[in-house]
Amino acid sequence: MTIHREGKNWVLGTLSAFVIINALLLITRKQQDWISLLVFVVTFVFLLLVLQFFRYPKRSVTRNENCVIAPADGKVVVIEQTVETEYYKDKRIQVSIFMSPFNVHANWYPFSGRIRYLKYHKGKYLVAWHPKASTENERSTIVVEKDEKKSVLLRQIAGALAKRIVYYPAENDLVKQGAEMGFIKFGSRVDIYLPLTAKVKVELNQKVTGKISVIAELE
């Protein structure tokens, strides 16, 4: 387990604040009392929360080009047939994974292919499970295509706490299943849009693990 590169400044800043605040209390207060103890506990808990949020687990992936693996840790909150209006403009199967503040927030490519479409959208910060979050929140849209039949759209969606989406690909990049795609700071959701012929392998409220859990099989 390591700290994700997106969190190194956060961890360094939080650690510095923890040391400085508690050192000043130690120097300025003649004796340690309940106030000093309370400040220590609060700052220590905040430091632990930042550390766990930006943790980055070491995981290996067994690549299967016929499968779509989970792009994120979290809980499956949506499985439904819907119309994707930004890129495909037709009916797709949508699978959404909600990431709580306690999940790992790195995102990975669910299968290999070429980046055919990439766009960042500024937006609102509605709660991630809000029906309009997919179209109104801050978000990025990434389409990975292997061939005409095997194409998947991924949408990173910021939530009420998230204020920044980070993504690493560029259009026309060749990407590998399980490689790192990006990071959503402080919680949110990832939507996956699959072809109607895909066989979904997860259920509502199921917890999934990024790079490991199989979301669907592509025909």
Q: Are residues 25 and 113 in the same domain?
A: no
In this structure, the answer to whether residues 23 and 84 fall within a common structural domain is: no
Which is catalytic among the residues 96, 134, 140, 188?
Answer: 188
**Are 76 and 135 contained in the same domain?**
yes
pLDDT of residue 160: 60
Question: Running along the chain, 219 residues long, what does each successive block of 10 average in pLDDT?
Answer: 77 88 81 80 86 81 86 94 94 94 87 93 65 69 87 85 74 90 81 95 95 92
38-46 long-range contacts (CB < 8 A, ≥24 apart) are 43/17, 43/18, 44/18, 46/14, 46/18
Per-residue model confidence (pLDDT) at position 50: 81
Name the H helices within the chain: 8-28, 34-53, 133-136
Question: How many domains are there within the chain?
Answer: 2
| Residue 61 belongs to some domain of the structure | no
CATH of the domain at 97: 2.70.70
Domain boundary among 12, 33, 56: 56
Do 47 and 114 belong to one domain?
no
Distance CA 174, CA 159 (A): 29
Query: What integer pLDDT is reported at residue 30 of this predicted model?
Result: 67
Q: Return all residues near 198 (Cβ < 8 A) that are at least 6 apart.
A: 68, 93, 216, 217, 218, 219
| 17, 33, 56 - which closes a domain | 56
Distance CA 75, CA 214 (A): 13
- What is the model's pLDDT at position 113? 93
Q: What is the reported pLDDT for 186?
A: 65
| Known catalytic residue at 134 | no
Question: Rounded to an integer, what is the distance from CA 117 to the centroid of its chain?
Answer: 19
Q: What is the pLDDT of residue 214?
A: 95
Is the full-model pTM beyond 0.85?
no
Fill in the amino acid letter for 28.
T
Q: Which domain holds residue 184?
A: 67-217
